[in-house]
């Protein structure tokens, strides 16, 4: 009985402490005229045990903020102040104009057991990040992606053959979970164009060994994973004590050995290959440069002001063999889940809207005819309607529903009296902005015409952030879009896509870290005879 009373007393004490902490923060934020939303991380973890996803929290929070006309909101995530930013004009200042105040991600240090993290671009901060980003940026320009296009196209042709086999090849089609095919496609491209490895993904229906290793590197935001994130964010030392890591040691070792072996073979044989490892080796020797004509508006925003950067790290240190391994794995982590998500939802949208699918097929077939029946990097980039469909899919189904920034220098939030301190952070609700009627009329209508040349010019660039914005945007945007265009073009040219009995209408989302359908994406595919 005595122990029960003590436990009951502790529970009461914790509740009282929680209420006191909440009230103190509420008073603090409201004195700055900023609505207080509580502990965002704790709320997401609690919601996960209720069966709710991060997306559910993003949607409900954004609707509440919108109803209250709150452009900035406050959170206290276990002692770390975090602001939610819902204003595109403010985002432009934060992401571009005042980038030097937000040069880092709002993140924790890599756990000791996740040794590959330590040299990844995503986890670098300050001068280390600026120096590494400057070295890696030339590997993702138009000219470099063009060099890899033949690998992309080979994977696209394998995708068509695989789908033909799965639906019987007789033109009758049938229900087919397209996630499986896209998983093989994205992993095949990553293996060949990033790692210089044959994935054997299309050799069999069951996942190849490379596929299995790659899939094990993907995070699912279940309750336990979120708990690990909380512990590691509070104290990496405590996380290391409990042996917490996000990726199994055998998976990290597999990619480390495979990629280092590939590097060693090139050095021994004095040979060059057509992949990103080769590009990083050239970057290590300062042989890659960016020409201004290769950059668009998105990429010019991302240019790092190197004249203000004191680069203390040499290229050899940043891109030693461990650095090349780490960033090859990063490209796989970033390119697999999110690219697959985009491909899945393009196929879903085309199945639901046959008129859009027919218009896209007409464009694809016409470009193919003009190009001798083959795809090329330049011919894909002539497809304006394909761009429109992809852009609208990224708006409607953004693979990343939120993004963040970490404050590196004290910053007075424009239009408020609030000063965000170094070490505090920002959350940007991408999904909420993309579905806001103020920026996208009839936001729940799938309409590629929003992104016609005429209409695209009217879109607020900082209300549309599928790849982030500013210097810390997605470095692999060109790579991802080229990959997606190849897959869609091959699929739409060869198959008619329709809903099947198992197609989710309306869509239900899973609890993964990127936007994914719940329970697969079953569609009816019918071979087109040419």
The answer to whether the peptide bond before residue 506 is cis (omega within 30 degrees of 0) is: yes
Is 195 annotated as contributing to ligand binding? no
CA 10 to chain centre: 42
Helix or strand (DSSP H, E) at 250: helix 249-269
Going from the C-alpha of 450 to that of each of 153, 283, 446, 459, the distances in angstroms are: 29, 38, 9, 8
CA dihedral for 179, 184, 187, 190, sign (positive or negative): negative
* Closest residue by Cα to residue 435 from 78, 62, 76: 62
- Checking 83-86 for CB contacts under 8 A at 24+ apart, the result is 83/34, 83/413, 83/418, 83/420, 83/424, 83/425, 83/426, 83/427, 84/37, 84/40, 84/426, 84/427, 84/429, 85/426, 85/427, 85/428, 86/62, 86/429, 86/432, 86/433
The conformational region for residue 79 under phi > 0 = left, psi -120 to 50 = alpha, else beta, is left
DSSP states along 405-453: EE-SS-EEPTTSS-EEPTT-EEEE-HHHHHT-TTTSSSTTS--GGGGSH
- Quote the tokens at residue 9: 């007393």
- Quote the tokens at residue 257: 């050995």
How many Cβ atoms are within 10 Å of 33's Cβ, its own excluded?
12
Place of tokens 């729940």: 444
User: Strand 72-77's sheet: what is its strand order?
Assistant: 72-77, 80-85, 425-428, 403-406
The binding site comprises 474
The binding site for heme comprises 474
């Amino acid at each position: 009985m005595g122990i029960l009373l003590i436990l009951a007393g502790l529970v009461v004490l914790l509740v009282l402490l929680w209420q006191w902490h909440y009230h103190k923060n509420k008073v603090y934020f409201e004195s700055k005229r900023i609505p207080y939303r509580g502990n965002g991380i704790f709320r997401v973890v609690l919601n996960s045990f209720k069966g709710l996803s991060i997306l559910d929290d993003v949607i409900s929070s954004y609707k509440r903020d919108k109803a209250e006309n709150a452009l900035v909101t406050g959170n206290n995530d276990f002692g770390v102040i975090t602001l939610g930013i819902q204003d595109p004009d403010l985002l432009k200042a934060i992401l571009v104009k005042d980038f030097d105040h937000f040069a880092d991600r709002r993140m924790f240090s890599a756990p000791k057991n996740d040794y590959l993290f330590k040299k990844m671009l995503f986890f670098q901060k300050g001068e280390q990040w600026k120096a590494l980003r400057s070295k890696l940026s030339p590997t993702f320009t138009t000219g470099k992606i063009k060099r890899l296009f033949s690998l992309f196209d080979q994977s696209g042709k394998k995708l068509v053959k695989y789908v033909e086999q799965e639906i019987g090849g007789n033109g009758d089609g049938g229900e087919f979970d397209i996630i499986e095919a896209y998983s093989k496609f994205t992993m095949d491209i990553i293996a060949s164009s990033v790692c210089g490895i044959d994935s054997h993904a299309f050799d069999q229906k069951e996942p190849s060994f490379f596929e299995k290793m790659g899939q094990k590197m993907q995070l699912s935001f279940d309750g336990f994973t979120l708990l690990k994130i909380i512990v590691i964010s509070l104290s990496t030392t405590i996380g290391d004590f409990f042996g917490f890591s996000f990726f199994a040691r055998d998976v990290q070792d597999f990619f480390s050995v495979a990629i280092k072996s590939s590097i060693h073979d090139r050095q021994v044989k004095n040979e060059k290959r057509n992949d990103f490892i080769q590009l990083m080796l050239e970057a290590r020797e300062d042989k890659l440069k960016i020409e201004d004509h290769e950059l668009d508006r998105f990429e010019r925003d991302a240019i790092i002001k190197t004249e203000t950067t004191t680069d203390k790290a040499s290229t050899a240190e940043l891109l030693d063999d461990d650095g090349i391994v780490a960033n090859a794995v990063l490209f796989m982590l970033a390119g697999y889940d999110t690219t697959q998500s985009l491909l899945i939802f393009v196929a879903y949208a085309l199945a639901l809207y046959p008129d859009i699918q027919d218009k896209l097929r007409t464009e694809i077939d016409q470009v193919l005819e003009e190009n001798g029946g083959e795809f090329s990097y330049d011919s894909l980039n002539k497809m304006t309607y394909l761009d429109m469909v992809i852009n609208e899919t990224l708006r409607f189904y953004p693979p990343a529903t939120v993004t963040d920034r970490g404050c590196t220098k004290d910053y007075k939030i424009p239009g408020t009296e609030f000063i965000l301190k170094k070490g505090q952070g920002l959350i940007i609700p991408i999904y909420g902005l993309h579905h806001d009627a103020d920026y996208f009329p009839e936001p729940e209508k799938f309409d590629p015409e929003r992104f016609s040349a005429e209409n695209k010019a009217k879109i607020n660039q900082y209300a549309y952030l599928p790849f982030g914005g500013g210097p810390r945007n997605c470095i692999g945007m060109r790579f991802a879009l080229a990959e997606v265009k190849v897959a869609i073009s091959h699929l739409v040219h060869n198959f008619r896509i329709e809903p099947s009995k198992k197609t989710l209408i309306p869509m239900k989302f899973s609890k993964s870290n990127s936007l994914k359908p719940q329970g697969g994406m079953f569609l009816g595919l019918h071979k087109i005879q040419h």
